[in-house]
Structure 1
Amino acid sequence: MPSKTLTFVFAAERGAPIPLTEHRCKAAVPVAGKYRVIDFTLANCLHSGLRQVLVLTQYKSHSLHKHLRDGWSLFNAELGEFITAVPPQMRYDSGWYRNAVDALRQNRYLIERSTADLLLLLDGGLVYRMDYAELIQHHREQQGPGGGITCALRQAGPGSAAGAVKVELDEGERITGIGSASGETGPYLSTMGVVLIDKTLLLEQIETLAAATEVEMEQGSDLATQLLAPMLAGRATAATAPKAYRFGGERGRVTQDRYWRDLGSTDAYFRANMDLLRAESPLDLYQADWHILTYQGQYPPARTVPGPTSGNEGIFVNSMLGAGTVIRGGGVSHSVLYPRVQVEDGAIVDEAILFEGVRVGANARVRRCICDKDVVIPAGACIGEDHRADAERFEVSEEGIVVIRKGQTI
């Protein structure tokens, strides 16, 4: 059944205008010490048996295209398998993708020529693990002949990201309403960027949906909302109403950690990375038959060595270290270090996220900080301890996380 499904991964948006998306789209942001955000969605496709995947790209997409080429050239074109990036083709007009529905409309020809009968629509800017094959099976069981639309829903609560959507169901698990979750004080069901729809239904509705969703993609409109809201307005109680699939159920081959995160703000991004350093991580990266694939440079192993001046051993505690990282007499704790990071003699790195190629000079102190690629922290510098001084030099989030942009001089 997965072979009869064409998958669209939406990776065209910047997301919230945070410093980490200044040079890359949201789907290409590094996460968890070695991955890109999109790796989680693509790994779900791979393990779910989905071999026809179109990645819709647009905003500052070079980094993402390079990552897809280097890390995801896995499938055999002779067998009809592919992961292909599709920037705007401008077949209908000269415009970019305005939103997810418009992106589908602009690529209608790819849908029409596909032999698939189902379309799986995925937001490529989210972190979670899910067996889409079980979603497809559930859809066929519930929708019956002629198909329809099934939306995956997750359990959410008052602490959810801004702009979260609340979904209402009837006793038959049919979706009857969708709207803002603002003001909710208890648990509720929300969308999660996963929609399965019958191909014929989408082709019938696409022009109407496109006309009803004139919202710019950069404004972050929810994928499910764009599809469901116009449909519900016309047939909220019909037998063919959209149906729900509850994320984190017993079915499926992925261990049910029920973890789902939208890394749409600096603080959300920081918290998600720190989540992975808990004694029992809420996201299972170690399921033997559900690896998250990615591209990694061929770097030497990470290691610690004594400091050249102090002679003290380099140490790291409860941290992730990427390949090629060297700690020379410094100390790293509760931090995520990407490949080729250098921590020099006497430096202290605590609760920090250091992207590839970052160098921390001797005796520097870096706390509660995100350093983008190739940043150099001078010897003796102090970052993350004096809020006022940090705010004068860098961007500081609402929760006090310091962000040093790529190429920023310190």
Structure 2
Amino acid sequence: MTHKVVSIVLGGGRGTRLYPLTDQRSKPAVPIAGKYRLVDIPISNCLNSGYNKIFVLTQYNSASLNKHIKNTYNFSVFSKGFVDILAAEQTNEGDRWFEGTADAVRRTQKNLANVDYDYVLILSGDQLYQMDYEAMVNFHVNNGGEITIGTIPVTAKEAHAFGILKSNENNEIVSFVEKPSDDLLPDWTSEVPENLARQGRNYLASMGIYVFSKGVLAQLLRDNPGMDFGKEIIPEAIENNKVLSYPFDSYWTDIGTIPSFFEANISLTDNIPLFNLFGDPVFTRPRMLPPSKVSGTTLNSAILADGCIILSDKIEQSVIGIRSRIGRGTVIKRTYMMGSDYYEDLSEVVEKTSSQQPPPIGVGERCYIENAILDKNCRIGNDVRIIGGKHLLDQDFEHYTIVEGIVVVKKNAIIPNGTTIGH
């Protein structure tokens, strides 16, 4: 049976942990895998699950996200489906920013009034995974849940970043702690499948994926003034409501930091990646781009998006985004190059290639780039060396940032000829 579900994707706050990628865009709009945006992941999971009534909540730097959703998710006039953005706004009830996940949903509830639904699916906008939400909703309904939380086993090292819970033999959550400290962890282990226990994944973590029965969500948000689901709403609900744990054991990663974002993208180049781009479709903006053109390049474990012109010597374990241009003699390793938003005219490219004032968009000739993220529309000149590594200290400069050894070249940055970053 198909249940009536409305989905809410939480766009997050300022996304400071993903700086500088979130300096000029909201977190859900950050490009991933060379041609998608982060927001495409939960929306695609919804559409693949048969749920096409979707709100995306955001408040910071939302212009590019608005444009992406407007150009991507257009449903037939005969369909009741939609993907709408709800941004924090000044109203008679208040003029403040969203102050947490629950506050964001509470303040946008009025937009649900004209939607026919029985269950609310609340999702995060900065996670990479593939999940059948219909199976989760069916689990919620068949087991008489009022709230169901998607859960996944994690290690002790990871547990500090999550809400950790315990459930009984009926998958009912009986206790919950948000981001436990080291001294609390020994009391929060759970029974998990043997293969996961061998990996040290003994702690049951909330994925930040929730199913609420319609009336339950409205009542909780009315009676509990808490601003955040994980910190305030869920712990109280466990005392008074039937809250279920929906176990998930496939690939899932929270990509809210630069290192996790970088590894999530680079891992897509594995022979058999944990996230399968070749299974259920990941929807995104349809672009009328030419196929990529490669000349004289050795490619090894590389992903190339559409519309690239590649003349480099070697690309290894890297993701190359749309409209990328890479010059002769260049070597790129363990790098995510996001590409560009537009093509420069050929005459401009020729002129800028000869004068290098500034360099053309893309990567120039005889460069060596490793352990880096190159944001959109970078201009990297000739003979540039960018070598990230754990030996580098975290620093922020005008055109690039170093985070845990990863060099992030900022959007629209200019890196002149002969520049060396790292050693």
**Cα distance change on mapping 1:50 and 1:34 into 2, 3 Å:** same
**Cα distance change on mapping 1:329 and 1:272 into 2, 3 Å:** closer
| Contact map agreement 1:195 1:224 (CA 8 A) in 2 | no
Q: Name the SS for the 1:107 alignment partner.
A: helix
Q: Which deviates more from structure 2 when the two are superposed, residues 92-101 or residues 366-375?
A: 92-101
* Cα separation, 2, equivalents of 1:98 and 1:389: 32
- Paired residue type of 1:395: T
Q: Name the SS for the 1:21 alignment partner.
A: coil
The TM-score normalised by the length of structure 2 is 0.83
**Cα distance change on mapping 1:231 and 1:301 into 2, 3 Å:** same
**Cα distance change on mapping 1:314 and 1:349 into 2, 3 Å:** same
* Cα separation, 2, equivalents of 1:50 and 1:80: 11
- Structure 1 unaligned regions, length at least 5: 214-220, 249-257, 306-312
* Cα separation, 2, equivalents of 1:377 and 1:345: 13
- 1:168 CA displacement: 1.2
**Cα distance change on mapping 1:327 and 1:77 into 2, 3 Å:** same
Q: Name the SS for the 2:64 alignment partner.
A: helix
- Paired residue type of 1:20: L
Q: Is 1:212 matched up with 2:226? A: yes
The corresponding residue for 1:341 is: 324
* Cα separation, 2, equivalents of 1:173 and 1:90: 41
| Contact map agreement 1:194 1:224 (CA 8 A) in 2 | no
* Cα separation, 1, equivalents of 2:156 and 2:411: 33
The corresponding residue for 2:381 is: 378
**Cα distance change on mapping 1:45 and 1:409 into 2, 3 Å:** same
The corresponding residue for 1:123 is: 124
**Cα distance change on mapping 1:385 and 1:229 into 2, 3 Å:** closer
Q: Is 1:403 matched up with 2:408? A: yes
> How is 1:108-147 mapped onto 2 (pairs within 5 angstroms)?
108-143=109-144
Q: Which deviates more from structure 2 when the two are superposed, residues 350-359 or residues 192-201?
A: 350-359
**Cα distance change on mapping 1:40 and 1:2 into 2, 3 Å:** farther
**Cα distance change on mapping 1:392 and 1:148 into 2, 3 Å:** closer
The corresponding residue for 1:275 is: 267
Q: Name the SS for the 2:21 alignment partner.
A: helix
- Paired residue type of 1:276: L
**Cα distance change on mapping 1:112 and 1:391 into 2, 3 Å:** closer
Q: Is 1:323 matched up with 2:329? A: no
> Structure 2 residue aligned with 1:196, among 194, 204, 211?
211
**Cα distance change on mapping 1:226 and 1:124 into 2, 3 Å:** farther
The corresponding residue for 1:156 is: 154
Q: Name the SS for the 1:212 alignment partner.
A: coil
Q: Name the SS for the 2:156 alignment partner.
A: coil
Q: Name the SS for the 1:318 alignment partner.
A: strand
Deviations 1:38-91 (Å, cap 9, x if unpaired)?
Answer: 111111110111121111121111111111111112x23543221111112444
**Cα distance change on mapping 1:56 and 1:389 into 2, 3 Å:** closer
**Cα distance change on mapping 1:388 and 1:396 into 2, 3 Å:** same
- 1:3 CA displacement: 5.0
* Cα separation, 2, equivalents of 1:280 and 1:182: 35
Q: Name the SS for the 2:285 alignment partner.
A: coil
The TM-score normalised by the length of structure 1 is 0.85
* Cα separation, 1, equivalents of 2:149 and 2:215: 17
The corresponding residue for 1:97 is: 98
* Cα separation, 2, equivalents of 1:407 and 1:161: 37
**Cα distance change on mapping 1:376 and 1:150 into 2, 3 Å:** same
| Contact map agreement 1:368 1:384 (CA 8 A) in 2 | yes
Deviations 1:287-311 (Å, cap 9, x if unpaired)?
Answer: 1xx1111114322111212xxxxxx
The corresponding residue for 2:233 is: 227
* Cα separation, 1, equivalents of 2:40 and 2:159: 21
> Structure 2 residue aligned with 1:285, among 277, 300, 312?
277
* Cα separation, 1, equivalents of 2:292 and 2:119: 44
| Contact map agreement 1:120 1:196 (CA 8 A) in 2 | yes
- Structure 2 unaligned regions, length at least 5: 187-199, 341-360, 416-423
The corresponding residue for 2:168 is: 170
- The size of the alignment, in residue pairs, is 373
**Cα distance change on mapping 1:298 and 1:128 into 2, 3 Å:** same
**Cα distance change on mapping 1:3 and 1:51 into 2, 3 Å:** farther
* Cα separation, 1, equivalents of 2:109 and 2:70: 24
* Cα separation, 2, equivalents of 1:335 and 1:39: 21
- Paired residue type of 1:301: P
* Cα separation, 1, equivalents of 2:5 and 2:393: 53
- 1:95 CA displacement: 1.8
The corresponding residue for 2:59 is: 58
**Cα distance change on mapping 1:389 and 1:57 into 2, 3 Å:** closer
Q: Is 1:70 matched up with 2:84? A: no
The corresponding residue for 2:253 is: 261
**Cα distance change on mapping 1:226 and 1:301 into 2, 3 Å:** farther
* Cα separation, 1, equivalents of 2:55 and 2:2: 15
| Contact map agreement 2:394 2:403 (CA 8 A) in 1 | no
Moved runs in structure 1, 4+ residues, more than 6 A? Answer: none
> How is 1:27-46 mapped onto 2 (pairs within 5 angstroms)?
27-46=28-47
- Paired residue type of 2:213: D
